[in-house]
């Protein structure tokens, strides 16, 4: 028993025991040079429908907001189809009302059991059948009390009432289906009109414009390219033989620009400026040089209305590495 406990203790205290992060006081940093700024979101805005570009008053380099209207594809035909669909829906709803069907507040029609015509036809059927049943009962007690021709008349009335009830149910179903179809057609046109409004999927800066107002555009063709600028990636490489991924992932970074040899204006703006961020990606692969890629998400800054960090720039990135504490 004591020997087993000793073996377990040796295993847990040996070199295979889990490693624990050291205290923050022991944190060290590593500076990576020649890091590249890349875009977090680089989106190609394309046309959802084909047609003529009626509105495209967006210039390259301008800042836009999320959901801002960027372009509009000609909607003349769609507006005509919308008017036609609205008229057809109104006619279908009017026909449904004649069949005793009412729309509720959500635009849905009553079910068959709630239809005025269906209820009336069903009531007539029940009355007619009740008359026949009553005549049968009377003749059973007193044969011939109700003449045969009267019973036949009542039976015909019952059959007619049953048929009218079936017709009412059928008309209700047809009217309901027609209203639903017309509503779906109108919804489709409204959706098309919405798709002809090209809106920005994100806030950013227009990097490229591929079309001009008045040009014909096909479905899926690019119109604008937008880059998110408030947050960017900064990518660099670490030696796999010097640093473990556990020391890097989710650690704080400070990004700066090497201003040696830069112009006076660049030195003044970037000289002591730091951009803060955090490592969000560590590559699972090591390249031929023995390095692996790390990527930080960094908060950008503005100066005089322009973003300072831009995709393609070369920067320095200082990573706060938290060394792992190994059991003695």
Instruction: Give the residue, 160 or 163, on which the prediction is more confident.
Output: 160
- Residue 15's pLDDT is what? 40
Beta strands in 122-217 (DSSP E): 197-199, 204-209, 216-217
Which tens digits make up the pLDDT trace of 45-72? 999 999 999 878 889 999 999 999 999 9
What percentage of residues in the chain have a pLDDT greater than 90?
51
113-144 pLDDT per residue, tens: 455 555 565 666 566 567 667 666 766 677 76
Across the chain, mean pLDDT equals 81
- Residue 9: per-residue pLDDT: 35
Residue-level pLDDT at 210 = 94
Identify whether the C-beta of residue 217 lies closer than 8 Å to the C-beta of residue 224: no
**Which pLDDT value is given to residue 186?**
92
Q: Quick check: pTM over 0.85?
A: no
Question: Which one has a higher pLDDT value, 72 or 18?
Answer: 72
Q: Which two tokens stand for residue 253?
A: 């970074």
Q: Count Cβ atoms within 10 A of the Cβ of residue 169 and give its class: 0-12 exposed, 13-18 middle, 19 or more buried.
A: middle
């Amino acid at each position: 028993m004591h020997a087993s406990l000793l073996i377990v203790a040796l295993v847990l205290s040996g070199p295979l025991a889990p490693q624990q992060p050291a205290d923050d006081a022991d944190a060290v940093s590593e500076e990576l040079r020649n890091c590249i700024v890349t875009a977090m979101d680089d989106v190609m805005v394309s046309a959802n429908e084909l047609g003529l570009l009626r509105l495209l008053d967006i210039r390259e380099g301008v800042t836009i907001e999320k959901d801002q209207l960027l372009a509009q594809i000609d909607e003349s035909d769609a507006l005509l189809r919308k008017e036609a669909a609205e008229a057809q829906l109104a006619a279908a709803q009017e026909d449904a009302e004649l069949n005793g069907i009412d729309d509720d507040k959500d635009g849905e029609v009553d079910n068959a059991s709630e239809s005025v015509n269906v209820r009336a036809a069903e009531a007539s059927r029940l009355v007619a059948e009740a008359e026949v049943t009553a005549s049968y009962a009377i003749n059973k007690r007193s044969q011939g009390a109700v003449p045969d021709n009267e019973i036949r008349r009542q039976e015909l009335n019952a059959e007619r009432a049953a048929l009218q009830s079936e017709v009412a149910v059928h008309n209700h179903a047809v009217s309901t289906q027609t209203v639903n179809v017309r509503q779906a057609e109108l919804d489709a046109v409204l959706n098309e009109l919405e798709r002809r409004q090209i809106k920005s999927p994100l806030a950013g800066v227009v990097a490229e414009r591929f079309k001009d107002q008045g040009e014909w555009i096909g479905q899926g063709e690019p119109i604008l390219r937008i880059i998110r600028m408030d947050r960017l990636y900064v990518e660099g490489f670490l030696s796999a033989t010097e640093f473990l991924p556990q020391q890097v992932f989710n650690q704080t970074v400070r990004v700066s620009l090497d201003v040696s040899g830069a112009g006076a204006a660049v030195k003044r703006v970037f000289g002591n400026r730091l951009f803060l961020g955090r490592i969000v990606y560590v590559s699972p692969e090591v390249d031929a040089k023995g390095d692996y890629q790390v990527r930080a998400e960094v908060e950008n800054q503005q100066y005089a209305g322009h973003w300072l960090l831009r995709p393609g720039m070369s920067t320095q990135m200082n990573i706060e590495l938290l060394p792992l504490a190994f059991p003695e």
